[in-house]
Copies of this chain bind each other. A is one copy, B any other.
Amino acid sequence: MQKLFQYNWQVRQDWFDWCRSVPEEELLKKRTGGVGAILPTLFHIVDVEYNWLCELDGRTDFFNDSYEGYATLQKVEALSERLHESVQAFVSSWSDELESKILQTTDSNGEAETFLYGEVMRHVIAHEIHHIGQLSVWSRELDQKPVTANLIRRGLFK
């Protein structure tokens, strides 16, 4: 489980670095698909990861800010770093016994919903990879080479 999170964090950092090579207006520009722009996508990834893991961790200090206050590369990257501490702590402490633990939650309509912890962890992993795939298309629209999505050859298993 941890390796896929580490992959996502490496790839996310590579995209923050990539963003520095692109004019900021391109990061904010409305695009087709996903959440509709590059920087809001990175913000959304950070937000979703943090809030799900916060819930799994039994904490209530959710991140509720809207994107509007974070509309610069520097702010989104700083947010990602700030929220990373507790995210990393939870992921590091993950063990197989948590796989079948039940999360009782509510959906966006306030209806009761249950998930397994292992289900939510994989959802968070897939969520980030999916949105990063969208960034790769937008990168080519900008005539920029995207960050590699390869998981191999990243030194993650040394």
Contact = CB atoms under 8 A, between A and B. Distances in A.
A131 interface: yes
A75 interface: no
A119 B151 contact: yes
A123 B136 CA distance: 17
A138 interface: yes
A7 interface: yes
A156 B116 CA distance: 10
Contacts of A157: 115-116, 118-119
A119 B33 contact: no
Interface in A128-148: 129-134, 136-141, 146
Interface residues on A, range: 35 or more
A119 B141 CA distance: 31
A149 interface: yes
Given A33-B141, A126-B129, A130-B129, A118 B3 contact: yes
A132 B149 CA distance: 12
Given A33-B137, A116-B157, A136-B33, A7 B126 contact: yes
A122 interface: yes
A102 to B, nearest CB: 10
Task: Please give me the 6 A-B residue pairs with the lowest Cβ-Cβ distance, nearest first.
Answer: A133-B133, A33-B137, A33-B140, A123-B151, A129-B129, A130-B149
Given A129-B130, A131-B133, 10 more contacts: A33-B136, A33-B138, A33-B146, A34-B137, A115-B157, A126-B149, A130-B130, A130-B133, A133-B134, A137-B137
